[in-house]
């Protein structure tokens, strides 16, 4: 069985929908109505983007070319005939070929994705015909349906030469178009079948019918996995998109977008660099250590030797390494993937201890330790989801409650709707990510035990002082991990960042969605996976993370001992971090960038160092800045020198006259005259009566 998560994301009521399509990159759904209206919906913001009216329009599709969104509409402006016509887009839509052979209306054609010269047609004459471009007559005919055939689709994978068809005999048939036989007949629909589709990613076939249901069949076992009935009357069309888990459906009464399974790939890495993932039902493993010392560049796809681990009986939706005792195991939630134990519930595991929890229904939570059931309890506000970590998080429809694993007692309830929760290894810091932002909190176990003892500071929401909020960042975290006190994450706009002490540091901007697998300290690298199960890496120095962690903990001894391990080119970055944390003196000691050091020297009033840096830089701007500082510090001879270096005659004049220094005024006059600063020269001569 597949046990696919199926969620309804959008319901758009309208007149009869005859065709739907999904944009390949934008979150747009195009629907064309029987009435001739065409609407584009943004399925993320859930609003219609645009709308237009045409002739009666039956089929539409989108073509993506650069940034244009071309909508091709096919209107039945001609009378129905039994012909298929090829229209040439490049030659002003001239009809370049006619295909003859069907004895009744042609309902649909599809082009073979593996051979663009071949297409198949479905007709009310009860047949499917396969054609070659360039040949007027069909290549061959597939017969077997007992009533008109409404719809067909090619299987896109390379392993099977299959077609699927749906007909008014209420049957769905799978055909092998190489040996031209019907491989399987799927029985279940109670009315005419109107649309069929092989899903481009998942091992499923989707079929829709006039009985109002969409059925999900396993494309290998042909088992009926789900029957979806959204009570929108007859189903007319289904559309799925490669690389996406959205499926659009069109009905008599509107359209629906479903999300099937999870967006993230089922991939996990353990701390030794073994990566495990599921490719459809097959579980595979690769070892990063086996790559040797090959030079790796940031963002480059890693060439890994892949080992097959066998196949999962249940379609794995996530994979996660957990550590139980000294052993590492892999878990696919909804199914524990180890020594024939299978647990068919929502499960989340606590790393690195041996605790894990299982959610039963929407109100019970079972706690296990070392695979033994320890406790079962009913969270007061319901259990819509669970999050393992230092504490057990239980999400309800309005809040998040943290429980103690051992006692299953409430520690703290927070009004928040979390998507993900990430605990640091020490259990001291936790990041709670929501749909809009993320929060970093510090967990205060001393306050918790104090409150538990004294019974003070507790309410129905738990212990008030259990957490301290350190910061909120308006970014959506997709995946993340802690290294020390640094929270590394990938944001919804594909940015690889880390958060430390309230500051965000960007490591890379990526061109596609990536998922964080983990950090291997020994390699100083972060590993990321994408949907196609490629693995890439980015350099991130452990010494820098450790240094920043030490600074956050105000452990300057450790920080000082780490400093020599930080390469010179990283020092300035670290210095900027120190400065932002308010440690300017340390920043000045660490920075290697003269500009930064000069700024810091000015801020710290280090006139001598600033003077040295200004002389090295020979920058007029720096001399001016230093002159200003020297003046405020009443260091007039330094100020004079600086103004002189900056050739700031106006400043010199002010300084000389204000200090009543006739000698200086005299020298200034000569200098100014020599340099052609006539205004200043005139004034100085005038004042001295010359
Ligand atoms: C079908 O197409 C194949 C490949 O183009 C060709 O070799 C074969 O002769 C065709 N058969 C018929 C009956 O047209
Ligand atoms: C045609 O191929 C399918 C596999 O795709 C096989 O199951 C079936 O037995 C074959 N039929 C004939 C008649 O060779
Ligand atoms: C199913 O198709 C037949 C024609 O084969 C048609 O007469 C009938 O009305 C259709 N059923 C529904 C529910 O529309
Ligand atoms: C779909 O649901 C509606 C409303 O609950 C019901 O009337 C209808 O019979 C269902 N259809 C099927 C085929 O189960
Ligand atoms: C939230 O859950 C409570 C109790 O579990 C329930 O009474 C309430 O109706 C739910 N609210 C929503 C909006 O689902």
Give 63's strand partners. Answer: 70
Instruction: Among 3.20.20.300, 3.30.1450.10, 1.25.40.470, 3.40.50.300, name the CATH number for the domain at 593-687.
Output: 1.25.40.470
CA-nearest residue, atom 3 of ligand 3:
168
- How many angstroms is it from 383 CA to the middle of ligand 5? 11
For the chain, counts of helices (H) and of strands (E): 12, 52
561-590 per-residue burial string, b: 16 or more CB within 10 A, e: under 16: ebbeebeeeebbbbbbbbbebebbebbbeb
Structure-model confidence comparison of residues 663 and 317, the more confident one: 663
Query: Does the pLDDT value for residue 175 go beyond 80?
Result: yes
Amino acid 204: pLDDT: 92
Residue 210 near ligand 4, beta carbon < 6 Å: no
| Residue whose C-alpha is closest to residue 384's, from 367, 359, 408, 366 | 359
Q: Identify which ligand lies nearest to the alpha carbon of 234.
A: 3
Quick one: tokens of 228?
Answer: 């979806």
- Which pLDDT band, with edges at 50, 70 and 90, does 67 fall under? very low
| Number of residues assigned to the chain | 690
Q: Under a CB-based contact definition with an 8 Å cutoff, are residues 357 and 386 in contact?
A: yes
DSSP 13-31: E-S-EEEEEE-SSSSEEEE
Question: Rounded to an integer, what distance in angstroms lies between the CA atom of residue 336 and that of residue 315?
Answer: 12
Residue 210 CA: which ligand 3 atom is closest?
Answer: 13
Query: Does the pLDDT value for residue 243 go beyond 80?
Result: no
Give 504's strand partners. Answer: 499
Provide, rounded to the nearest whole percent, the portion of the chain with pLDDT above 90: 49
Q: Identify which ligand lies nearest to the alpha carbon of 362.
A: 5
Question: Rounded to an integer, what distance in angstroms lies between the CA atom of residue 308 and that of residue 303?
Answer: 16
Q: Under a CB-based contact definition with an 8 Å cutoff, are residues 121 and 133 in contact?
A: no
Query: Does the pLDDT value for residue 64 go beyond 60?
Result: no
Amino acid 338: pLDDT: 36
Residue 117 CA: which ligand 1 atom is closest?
Answer: 5
Backbone angles phi, psi at 674, to 5 degrees: -60, -40
Residue 141 near ligand 1, beta carbon < 6 Å: no
Q: Under a CB-based contact definition with an 8 Å cutoff, are residues 178 and 163 in contact?
A: no
Residue 252 near ligand 3, beta carbon < 6 Å: no
- Residue 560, burial from CB neighbour count under 10 angstroms (0-12, 13-18, 19+): middle
Question: Rounded to an integer, what distance in angstroms lies between the CA atom of residue 75 and that of residue 510?
Answer: 41
Q: Under a CB-based contact definition with an 8 Å cutoff, are residues 643 and 651 in contact?
A: yes
Number of Cβ within 10 Å of residue 24's Cβ equals 14
pTM higher than 0.75, yes or no? Answer: no
Backbone angles phi, psi at 428, to 5 degrees: -90, -35
**What average pLDDT does this structure show over 317-329?**
61
- How many angstroms is it from 253 CA to the middle of ligand 1? 43
Residue 132 near ligand 1, beta carbon < 6 Å: yes
Domain coordinates of the chain in residue numbers? 554-592, 593-687
Determine the Cα angle at 302 with ends 297 and 304, to 5°.
Answer: 150
pLDDT of 8-45, one tens digit each? 999 999 999 989 999 887 888 989 888 878 888 988 88
User: In angstroms, what CA-CA distances link 36 with 52, 93, 194?
Assistant: 8, 21, 20
Least reliable range by pLDDT among 93-97, 175-179, 408-412 = 93-97
| Residue whose C-alpha is closest to residue 165's, from 156, 155, 153 | 153
CA-nearest residue, atom 12 of ligand 5:
397
- How many angstroms is it from 62 CA to the middle of ligand 4? 32
Least reliable range by pLDDT among 319-333, 400-414, 491-505, 532-546 = 319-333
Least reliable range by pLDDT among 201-210, 291-300, 583-592, 681-690 = 291-300
Amino acid 58: pLDDT: 46
Query: Does the pLDDT value for residue 57 go beyond 50?
Result: no
Q: Under a CB-based contact definition with an 8 Å cutoff, are residues 500 and 486 in contact?
A: yes
Q: Identify which ligand lies nearest to the alpha carbon of 184.
A: 2
């Amino acid at each position: 069985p597949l046990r696919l998560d199926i969620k309804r994301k959008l319901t758009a009521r309208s007149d009869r929908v005859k065709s739907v399509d999904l944009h390949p990159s934008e979150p747009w759904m195009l629907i064309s109505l029987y009435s001739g209206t065409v609407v584009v919906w943004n399925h993320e913001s859930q609003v219609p983007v645009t709308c237009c009216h045409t002739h009666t329009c039956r089929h539409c599709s989108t073509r993506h070319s650069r940034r244009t969104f071309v909508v091709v509409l096919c209107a039945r402006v001609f009378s129905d005939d039994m012909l298929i016509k090829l229209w040439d887009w490049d030659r002003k839509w001239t009809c370049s070929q006619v295909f003859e052979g069907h004895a009744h209306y042609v309902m649909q054609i599809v082009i073979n994705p593996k051979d663009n010269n071949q297409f198949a047609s479905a007709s009310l004459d009860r047949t499917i015909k396969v054609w070659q471009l360039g040949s007027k007559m069909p290549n061959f005919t597939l017969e077997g349906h007992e009533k008109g055939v409404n719809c067909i689709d090619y299987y896109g994978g390379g392993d099977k030469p299959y077609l699927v068809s749906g007909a008014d005999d209420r049957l769905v048939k799978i055909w092998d178009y190489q040996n031209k036989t019907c491989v399987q007949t799927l029985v279940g629909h109670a009315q005419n079948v109107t649309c069929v589709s092989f899903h481009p990613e998942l091992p499923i076939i989707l079929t829709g019918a006039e009985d109002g249901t969409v059925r999900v069949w396993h494309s290998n076992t042909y088992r009926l996995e789900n029957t979806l009935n959204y009570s929108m009357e007859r189903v007319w069309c289904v559309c799925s998109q490669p690389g996406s888990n959205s499926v659009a459906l069109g009905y008599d009464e509107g359209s629906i977008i479903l999300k099937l399974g999870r967006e993230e790939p089922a991939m996990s890495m353990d701390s030794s660099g073994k990566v495990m993932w599921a490719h459809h039902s097959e579980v595979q493993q690769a070892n990063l250590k086996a790559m040797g010392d090959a030079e790796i560049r940031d963002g480059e796809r890693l060439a890994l030797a892949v080992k097959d681990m066998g196949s999962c009986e249940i379609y794995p939706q996530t994979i996660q390494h957990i550590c139980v005792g000294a052993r590492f195991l892999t878990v696919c939630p909804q199914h524990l993937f180890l020594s024939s134990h299978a647990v068919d519930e929502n499960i989340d595991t606590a790393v690195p201890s041996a605790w894990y929890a299982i959610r039963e229904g929407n109100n019970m939570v079972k706690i296990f330790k070392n695979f033994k059931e320890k406790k079962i309890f009913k969270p007061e506000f319901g259990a819509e989801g669970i999050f393992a970590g230092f504490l057990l998080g239980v999400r309800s429809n309005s809040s998040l409650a943290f429980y103690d694993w051992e006692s299953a007692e409430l520690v703290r309830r927070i009004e928040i709707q979390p998507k993900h929760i990430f605990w640091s290894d020490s259990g001291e810091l936790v990041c709670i990510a929501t749909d809009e932002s993320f929060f970093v909190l510090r967990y205060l176990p001393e306050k918790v035990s104090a409150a538990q003892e004294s019974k003070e500071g507790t309410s129905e929401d738990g212990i008030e002082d259990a957490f301290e909020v350190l910061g909120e960042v308006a970014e959506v975290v997709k995946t993340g991990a802690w290294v020390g006190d640094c929270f590394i994450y990938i944001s919804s706009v594909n940015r690889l960042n880390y958060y430390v002490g309230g500051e965000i540091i960007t490591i890379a901007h990526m061109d596609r969605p990536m998922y964080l697998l983990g950090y291997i300290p020994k390699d100083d690298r972060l590993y990321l996976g994408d949907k196609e199960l490629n693995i890439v890496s980015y350099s991130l120095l452990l010494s820098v993370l450790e240094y920043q962690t030490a600074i956050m903990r105000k452990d300057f001894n450790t920080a000082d001992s780490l400093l020599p391990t930080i390469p010179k080119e990283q020092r300035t970055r670290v210095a900027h971090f120190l400065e932002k944390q308010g440690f300017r003196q340390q920043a000045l000691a660490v920075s290697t960038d003269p500009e930064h050091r000069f700024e810091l020297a000015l801020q710290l009033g280090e006139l001598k160092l600033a003077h040295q840096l200004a002389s090295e830089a020979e920058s007029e701007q720096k001399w001016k800045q230093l002159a200003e500082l020297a003046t405020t510090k009443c260091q007039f001879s330094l100020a004079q020198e600086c103004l002189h270096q900056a050739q700031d005659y106006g400043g010199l004049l002010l300084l000389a006259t204000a200090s009543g220094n006739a000698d200086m005024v005299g020298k200034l006059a000569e200098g100014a005259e020599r340099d052609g600063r006539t205004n200043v020269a005139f004034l100085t001569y005038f004042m001295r009566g010359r």
